[in-house]
Structure 1
């Protein structure tokens, strides 16, 4: 019985410390992140909104924290609870180019992962005019012909945003994959 209490206390301590992991990820405090992980905080713990520390670090453009969390085994493919957006989607949404590049450099990152609306990272790049990352997505075999829940492709989303040059590039990439 005493052992069960010790395990429960350890689990509680780890859960209590996880809130500091989220703060450290937002702030990009790599030393605090490493310390908390060493103390047993789960690298893929979720905050009250269902975000992981990696999602937060990417969203806030804390590239060193993104690198540290990935090296510690954080999953780049987990989505938040609200919309299912991954760390890469968050970085693209916010225009955090270096964080997005770091995520794309990780071979575990699924560039075709979908959120609750069926959108992919390529669709986020199209929606938010991140033309500078389209080639990096292409290099990682992003499927530009995929459609979201409304039937829109990345090309269609770029056209809806009035970004004809990006839409034309996405159309060419989509054709290049046979889409």
Structure 2
């Protein structure tokens, strides 16, 4: 059975976005939630970072420039994102990095790939679009490339990750993906009208 995206039916509308605000889906990325106990994060974080080839991020930040990359979600709580189909290898490597000295009780890694849809917003108007429904201060002095936060966007819980000056990724629960994509398309419409 072929996997279907939660917003596949909106692909035509997403494809018509352009100019100052573009929206598309990053389909089916591997997503693994990693939890590290506070007392073990200092010693096992470097092992995990070595396996991932990027450091464990500091609070409200992301690390890694490609695949995989890691988002900080809270104290000792991280989301590792990689290309589709990579979750089994991530889990195996993470369990190896967390095992050994502590008998596998230092943390946990769980495949959550099906839990969230990933939307990417690009273009010079996307910060203005996000400001329509997000209470975070997204001014470049307060939120910049490499930052991430859990927040509400149009009353939907999201993980917001800024990847470049005009580029953002939104991780939204799959059950809210259709709602949020439609909200974004509507919020982008004024910028699209000016572009056409």
**TM norm structure 2:** 0.27
Name the one with the larger helix percent.
1
Q: Which has the higher contact order (CA 8 A, sep 6+)?
A: 2
